[in-house]
Amino acid sequence: MDSSNLQGDARMPFPPSLWAAIGGEAVHAPALAASMRCDVVVVGAGYTGLSTALHLAEGGASVCVLDAAQPGWGASGRNGGQVIPGLKYDPDQLRVMFGTAVADPLIGAIGTAADTVFELIKRHGIACDALRNGWIQPTHSVKTMRALESRARQWRAEGAHAQMMDAAEVARHIGTQAYVGGWKDHRAGSIHPLKYCRGLARAAAGLGAAIHGDTRVVRLERREGGWRVHTKGGPHIDAGRVVIATNGYSDHLWPMLRQSVIAANSFIVATRPLPDELAASILPGREVASDSRRLLLYYRRDAQGRLLMGGRGPFRDPRGPEDFIHLERSVELLFPQLKGVQYEYRWAGRVAITRDFLPHVHEPAPGLSIALGYNGRGIAMSSTMGRCLAQRLLGQAGTRFPFPVSTIHPIPFHGLQRFYIAAGVAWYSVLDRFS
């Protein structure tokens, strides 16, 4: 069963029975009960934090992960399960933006980001319905096909297995006549997001990492030789280094961090398992798909045969099934054969969007690292970010940190972010129609 039915107020904990149903074997991280000392404290038990902790523990560091809720409670347990490498920008664009010396290591990291996920799954035996059958990016626009041809050509030059698809091929692979063509990236795949997150937590704990849930960090205090991390419950941790990995659920722990991203909701619906005759007509090769529109739709079939459809939604957290009707309509528009299909689950999670659509890494004080802002590519990118951050903190010889380090820049008038999103949705809708 997919990470599902996670709807309502994102600040409220979910019943243990529901979490057991949606995520397989539960990982209950106890609250921090006593003060302690370690090498590194990681704030946030999502993909970034857990990947960082796992790789730090593999490198011999003592590490403690603290989360205000439980591992995978945020977007790491509430996403669409698509493991897609790359970023919004193609390799040639990144070289123009940063220059070859900076861009080439970045391109190497983002191009192999899906490898990181599937290698972790294999190495640690994580049971998460992993499937690596590729990603299809279809388009409604003949004009956009030229951009997709360039994208596929650039990634082939980087060694990726990428192929163009005409309208007939897209229809055969996806099961809809809605597109004029597209391309397929064979590096990509899918997972059950919450099972993967819990698997990372178990693997990190098995290597000696301490993981504590229900432990909100309320203050970071700079001290001689490191940091003191204060928690709401009272206990503190002394550590040489701190990593903040709270992404779209960042709060006021560090000045201006929350204001540096737009935390937008991504909404997802899941049908009941489809009958065999219908399942055979939709994504029969079990690829994942997301279209080329600015207000994109993304979809896949899960291990139980459900169709999952994701896309934009209201800025606020969902209040009921009516907030998901636009996605259900999209299902019937793309796949008329599913008219009248019943829906089993509806949920939402917050995506951290940056102004430049790039992941951000900050080091605003000695011994403090912050990483966030994956702009919808969180599974692959955050898993890779965690590995790279751990290598940086461990000072591993022969490794180069591939992500540019920047200062924190708050988005102007951040308190109006719901209006940013509403205006952006309206504008992108116009652009999508004309493209």
**Do the Cβ atoms of 272 and 246 come closer than 8 Å?**
no
DSSP character string of 369-433:
EEEE--TT-HHHHHHHHHHHHHHHHHT-TT----SPB----PPTTGGGHHHHHHHHHHHHHHHHH
Q: What is the pLDDT of residue 429?
A: 44
Q: What is the mean pLDDT of residues 364-371?
A: 98
Strand pairing of 236-244 and 368-372?
A: parallel
pLDDT, tens digit (0-9, with 9 covering 90-100), for 156-179: 999 999 999 999 999 999 999 999
pLDDT band for position 430 (cuts 50, 70, 90): very low
Q: What is the mean pLDDT of residues 219-243?
A: 97
Q: What is d(CA 118, CA 269) in angstroms, rounded to the nearest whole number?
A: 25
**Do the Cβ atoms of 282 and 177 come closer than 8 Å?**
no
Helix, strand or coil, per DSSP, at residue 255: coil
- For residue 133, pLDDT over 70 is answered with yes
Nearest to 49, CA basis, from 219, 249, 235: 249
Give the helix ranges, DSSP H, for 158-256.
Answer: 167-174, 193-206
Written as one letter, the residue type at 388 is C
Handedness of CA 198, 202, 204, 210 (dihedral sign): positive
Q: What is the pLDDT of residue 367?
A: 98
Nearby residues of 316 by Cβ (< 8 Å), 6 or more positions away: 265, 418
pLDDT, tens digit (0-9, with 9 covering 90-100), for 397-423: 788 999 999 999 998 756 655 555 555
Nearest to 28, CA basis, from 37, 19, 38: 19
- For residue 19, pLDDT over 60 is answered with no
Q: What is the pLDDT of residue 27?
A: 75
Query: Which position has the token pair 């054969």?
Result: 337
Q: What is the pLDDT of residue 411?
A: 87
Tokens for 351, please give them.
């995506």
